[in-house]
Structure 1
Amino acid sequence: MLSPYSTSNNRSSFATMSCVRLVFNTATLWNFGSINKEKILNHAIFLETIAAIPGMVAAIIRHFRSLRNMTRDRGMLNMFLEEANNERMHLLTFIRMKEPGTVFRAAVIGAKFGFGGFFLAAYMINPTWCHRFVGYVEEEACHTYTRILHKMEDAPRGSELARWKDKDAPKIARGYWAMGEDGTVYDEMKAVRADEAKHRDVNHAVSGLPDNVINPLYDPREKMDVMLKGHDGKGGKQAWRESFMPSSVLLLSLMAAA
């Protein structure tokens, strides 16, 4: 974990994350009683509905700033859109395993209004602080999914968690992470944890990155080169079509899985 005590910015963002974690874990009863399938899904679904907010907020604010200033965003906007969509896909895979009830949905709506409003205001004031905060949140998400994986691994044979661990992952998850037909719930949890680790590293890396610097993690010039030239040196419309072909194939597979 990045030291939360190195700067005042880190200290305040870490303290805020700790408060959010306490409220969230209490609301989902995560630290009370034993961990079972029902508790894991409740925790994961609630977590992912909140986790999809920061990336979209960052992208929207940067989008409007780009329009207002008539300048490019240097590769940040698209990266955060992808992050938000990735978190949303986590949610869509989990709700294939559990249908949230009315009370749960009401709690999610309330949490989204509260956290969404807070993060929107915070990002307009201090984006650097927000990305550090999200980095710490994603670190906690990694710890959470690691704990879930350990519980699955240590579950006694024949128990609910042991049976669930080896159950087929939903089709949408197998398609999204290219797991193949044999992808399991355990594989899905590992894939989600890997995504959260990536978001952790990205947000810590861009926290404090000057506005006039090209995003080193998502350089738009490289993507433009691929789109215009292609990896094999071809140019024109053929390379443009090929650059979008994987996304089209993925979209069709997800539509079929849904």
Structure 2
Amino acid sequence: MGTLRLQADHPVHVPPRDISDRIAYGFTRFLRFIADRFFARRYGHRAVVLETVAAVPGMVGGLLQHLKSLRLIKDDNGWIRQLLDEAENERMHLMTFIEIAKPSMFERVVICMTQLVFYNLYFFIYLLSPKTAHRIVGYFEEEAVYSYSEYLNGIDKGTYENVPAPALAIRYWNLPADARLRDVVIAVRADEAGHRDVNHAFADQLCGVR
């Protein structure tokens, strides 16, 4: 894991505590390995494909928590809204990086295939073990924070052009009219850190950790 942080008091990594956590962490590292081999340091294109995956868990979790609340006739304690907001936020990340990276037709096909496979896989993981599902997302977001930190470093070093921010991103994050890619990456990274902390907290609640 990287050591770059948004705030000094934000933990970068939650160590696996049990077999469920180790499965979640191993699954995340496996996907990270594939992403590293496929995209290398093409972070804009990497973000396009990975954000379509990142937008799935919140919608799946929100749906299944909604159905659970209906079955049990019990309040969800705010989980449904939190998860659906997360899905919407990740979708906006995708829309933003599509404007920046301009994915090829091949990458658009990869997006469709990745979403098809991951949606079904994550749906069954959440049915079997919501705690594992949320821990997976927590680890996904740890990796996202690290990747966007590397992207930011590359922009600062001049490796990636600090292009103007898309109008969509300026409206969504209420950025200055002259905002650049660097401002967008900082905003997205902050979102991912929030999702990381929320999903690790949800996983902890489900296994009784305080």
Give the TM interval when normalised to the shorter protein: 0.7 to 0.9
Contact 2:148 2:185 survives alignment (8 Å): yes
Show CA shifts across 1:52-80 (max 9, x none). 01111100111122222332211100000
Distance 2:19 2:207 in 1: 21
1:16 to 21, 24, 27: 27
**Bigger Cα Rg:** 1
> Which residue among 191, 205, 208 is the counterpart of 1:195?
191
The answer to whether the aligner puts 1:112 opposite 2:123 as a matched pair is: no
- Please list the CA deviations of residues 125-168 of structure 1 after superposition, one character each: whole Å capped at 9, or x if unmatched: 1000111111011000001000011111112xxxx72xx21x32
1:7 paired residue number: 18
Please state if 1:79 is matched with 2:82.
yes
Gaps of 5+ in 1: 213-258
Letter in 2 for 1:182: D
Match of 2:63 among 55, 60, 64: 60
The answer to which structure, 1 or 2, has the higher relative contact order (CA under 8 A, 6+ apart) is 2
Give the whole-Å Cα distance in 2 for the aligned partners of 1:178 and 1:125.
39
Please list every run of 5 or more consecutive structure 2 residues that lacks an aligned counterpart in the other structure: 1-12
* 2:201 pairs with one of 191, 202, 205: 205
- The alpha-carbon deviation at position 101 of structure 1 amounts to 2.5
CA distance in 2, matches of 1:207, 1:123: 11
Alignment partner of 2:172 out of 137, 156, 176: 176
In structure 1, distance between residues paired with 2:110 and 2:99? 19
Q: Secondary structure at the match of 2:184?
A: helix
Shift of 1:99: 3.0
DSSP-derived class of the 2:101 partner: coil
Indicate the SS of the match to 1:107. Answer: helix
Query: Is 2:134 the partner of 1:122?
Result: no
Alignment coverage as a number of residue pairs: 196
CA distance in 2, matches of 1:180, 1:148: 21
Q: How far 1:210 moved relative to its partner?
A: 4.5
Partner of 1:148: 151
Query: Distance between the aligned counterparts of 1:89 and 1:17, measured in 2?
Result: 22
Query: Within the alignment, does 1:27 sit opposite 2:30 as a pair?
Result: no
Give the distance between the partners of 1:109 and 1:102, measured in 2 at CA: 11
SS at match of 2:106: helix
Name the amino acid aligned to 1:125. L
Task: Tell me if structure 1 keeps the 8 A contact 2:131–2:207.
Answer: no
2:43 maps to 1:40: yes
Question: Structure 1 residues 125, 141: CA separation in 2 closer, same or farther (over 3 Å shift)?
Answer: same
State the TM-score, normalizing by the size of structure 1. 0.72
Task: Give TM-score, length-normalised by structure 2.
Answer: 0.88
Deviation of 1:102 (Å): 2.1
Identity of aligned residues (%): 35
2:182 to 159, 179, 186: 186
